[in-house]
Chains A and B, each alone.
With several copies, the nearest count.
Chain A
């Protein structure tokens, strides 16, 4: 599982380096996300954002979607999962399942200096 992360301010940006999040790698994806996110030092007044940069992902199936939701669930409440850079086929599956209402979705992942590019 190819994930790379960098910290920008309060946010941890995790870029997925796989072209697909599908049933073949859904479980590995969950495990790798668990390993990639350090435990937050107790929930503060504001949950710390983890932004999943999906710019390189061109396909998510229902297992992949379920895995992303599972990640959101185990990160809460200390961390809140947000998404960035949904490609057309990925955006469609979030929209059709109404999961686009559950996540904050950014047009692109923040880059150094600009905290939020959405």
Chain B
């Protein structure tokens, strides 16, 4: 992180932006940090987002953040991840930034749900993540910028209370 050179005073706009602004969190690329982050988020939106949709938010963020930990960082716990959630466009607008490896094909996998056959031994134990994410979100965008993965999507809400 480069040393900052901003003036030493918090401006009025900054306070506005910061306090009424988005939910934000910075985390390292570990499963523990993902758990803590999800707990802060469910606590933050409880009461303003209905339970079922809060459950979807938690699921979608668990899958995206755990993918960062497991794939983009492939286990390196010192990766840095930033998440921001805005209430707008009829839903929760989520942006995840990480300094890990880019997506393999320059875009999030378009995998569909793994096949479920009749043989127990052949049942899938993984590969659900991106299908679950894509089932719930809209306006998914991904880009690589200056060595940073920028992933963004909207989780639509049926009814949005002010948070």
Take A23-B31, A96-B135 as given contacts and tell me if A62 and B128 are in contact as well, using a CB distance cutoff of 8 Å.
Answer: yes
Q: Which residues of B contact A24 (CB under 8 A)?
A: 31-32, 34-35
- The segment out of A4-12, A98-106, A110-118 that lies at the interface is A98-106
Residue B7, interface by CB 8 Å = no
One of B52, B59, B121 near A93 (C-beta < 8 A)? B59
- A69 to chain B minimum Cβ distance, whole angstroms, is 5
Q: Is A97 a contact of B121 with CB atoms below 8 Å? A: no
Take A62-B128, A66-B125, A69-B125 as given contacts and tell me if A92 and B62 are in contact as well, using a CB distance cutoff of 8 Å.
Answer: no
Residue B51, interface by CB 8 Å = yes
- Per the 8 Å Cβ criterion, residues 64-118 of A in contact with B are 65-67, 69-70, 72-73, 76-77, 88-89, 92-93, 96-99, 101-102
One of B52, B55, B124 near A69 (C-beta < 8 A)? B124
One of B55, B125, B135 near A89 (C-beta < 8 A)? B55
Residue B8, interface by CB 8 Å = no
Q: Which residues of B contact A61 (CB under 8 A)?
A: 59, 62-63, 66
- Per the 8 Å Cβ criterion, residues 86-135 of B in contact with A are 113, 116, 120-121, 123-126, 128-129, 131-132, 135
Interface of B is mostly: helix
Q: Is B31 a contact of A22 with CB atoms below 8 Å? A: yes
A101 and chain B: residue at smallest CB distance: B116
Q: Is A22 a contact of B55 with CB atoms below 8 Å? A: no
Q: Which residues of A contact B63 (CB under 8 A)?
A: 61-62
Q: Which residues of B contact A23 (CB under 8 A)?
A: 31, 34, 62, 66, 69-70
State the interface size on chain A (CB cutoff 8 A): 27
Which B residues lie at the A interface, using CB under 8 A?
A: 31-32, 34-35, 51-52, 55-56, 58-59, 62-63, 66, 69-70, 113, 116, 120-121, 123-126, 128-129, 131-132, 135
Please provide the 9 A-B residue pairs with the shortest distance between their CB atoms, ordered closest to farther.
A24-B31, A66-B125, A89-B55, A62-B128, A61-B62, A76-B120, A23-B66, A62-B129, A66-B126
Known: A20-B35, A61-B62, A96-B132; 20 extra A-B contacts, CB below 8 A, are A22-B31, A22-B66, A23-B34, A24-B31, A24-B34, A59-B62, A61-B59, A61-B63, A63-B66, A65-B128, A66-B126, A67-B125, A69-B124, A76-B121, A89-B55, A89-B58, A93-B59, A99-B116, A101-B116, A102-B116
A–B Cβ pairs within 8 angstroms, 19 of them? A22-B35, A22-B66, A24-B32, A59-B62, A62-B129, A66-B124, A66-B128, A69-B123, A73-B121, A73-B123, A89-B55, A92-B52, A92-B55, A92-B59, A93-B59, A93-B132, A97-B113, A101-B116, A102-B116
